[in-house]
Amino acid sequence: MSILTRYILKKYLLNFIVVLISLELFFVGIDFLQNFKKLPDSANLQLLYVLYNGFFTLTLALPLSIVFGWIVTLVIFIKNNELVAFNALGSRSKDIYAPVVKISLFLISLLILMQATPLAYSYDQKRKILHDEYFTSTKTDIFLKYNDNYVYFKKLLPLEKKAEGIHIYKVKDKDIVQSIVARNAYFQNNKWYVVDAKIINKPSQLDLETSRLDIKYEKFLNTLEGFKPKILDNVYESKSNFSILDAVSALVLLSNQGINTDKIRAALYNQVVVSFFVIPILLLVFAYASLNSRFFNMGKFTSLSIFGTLIVWGVFFMLYKFTNGGITIPEVSILLPFILWIIGSLLFYKKKMNS
């Protein structure tokens, strides 16, 4: 690593950390003050609320801090004539912005990895604490399709990995051929184990004299392999979030059942793809910066850079909400605009640098 790279990264990371902490304290503090009277009296739950809200805010604040930290760094470099010195030493433009782009890619990748963990459900957890539902997560009357089975859960307890009031109907050629009824089922070893199941088989050939129902009982019966309680909970609750791993599992399972997966794909694109929208902004901000501060309007540059970043972020956020509401499919409303944004940004960057 060259001396120039170390120097730029040192200045940039310092500004990035200051901006990130400031945004985190602002958003988390405002939210805490607004909802303080609604929170439980327990200090532990209040601390958990702040921690969950801190990570949820991080998913919004980190991409913005990456750009804002770069804007602050460039302003300082321009004001102190350091960009002129870098160029006088023979540094290319790529040598100046490349370290920031690389560390930004690393930070965004780290954020994506964190969203593959249970921390991705921070918003759900803080909402449960706010509504005094942290220890009572239940869903009732869930009816879903799994392969050739239609499954009904009278009550689902995702935290306990348990379901009550189980009815499973096996369908063949649009006809119910088997019915399984049980009081309880538990999720273990990536399977649902139905306890004390009553199995009723209907004869394939109906005859008034010889046909009869075949009834038997099983102590343990496994089904719904890989269908995690959290996936069931989130599929049922349309406003819930997904971790990346659960989203991939839900996408595979629901695709096999022929169920619409638009919201799951939108959540995946939003977590994995959209966060990288800041990288082109880093290049554009650098392209429109000036080496010399003498004839450069610093205030206008800073204002337009921050405003433009918020506009782009707001557009992608709006597109995600449209997709999550079922208005459009995610490939059209998220992936296509993201690709166009990348191409357009690179064209503007090359045009500006060549001029």
pLDDT (tens digit, 0 to 9) for every residue of the chain, 355 residues total?
Answer: 788 889 999 999 999 999 999 999 999 999 999 988 888 888 888 899 999 999 999 998 999 999 999 999 999 998 888 888 888 878 888 888 999 999 999 999 999 999 888 888 888 888 888 877 676 666 677 777 777 778 888 888 776 778 888 888 888 877 788 888 888 888 888 788 888 888 888 776 666 655 677 788 888 877 777 666 666 655 555 555 678 887 887 777 777 766 777 888 888 898 889 989 999 999 999 998 887 777 788 889 999 999 999 999 999 989 988 887 777 888 988 999 999 999 999 999 998 888 6
Q: Indicate whether 142 and 99 sit together in one domain.
A: no
Residue 123 in domain: no
Closest CA to 58 of 124, 127, 3, 110: 110
Helix 244-256 with 229-236: angle, nearest 10 deg: 80
Last residue of a domain, one of 265, 284, 313: 265
Residue 151 in domain: yes
Residue 120 in domain: no
**Residue type (1 letter), 159:** L
Residue 121 in domain: no
Q: What is the pTM of this model?
A: 0.80
Q: Indicate whether 151 and 258 sit together in one domain.
A: yes
CA dist 327 and 158 (Å) reads 29
Q: Indicate whether 149 and 260 sit together in one domain.
A: yes
Secondary element (H or E) of residue 241? none
Q: How many domains does the chain have?
A: 2
Domain enclosing residue 173, as ranges:
130-265
Last residue of a domain, one of 265, 295, 311: 265
Last residue of a domain, one of 265, 296, 311: 265
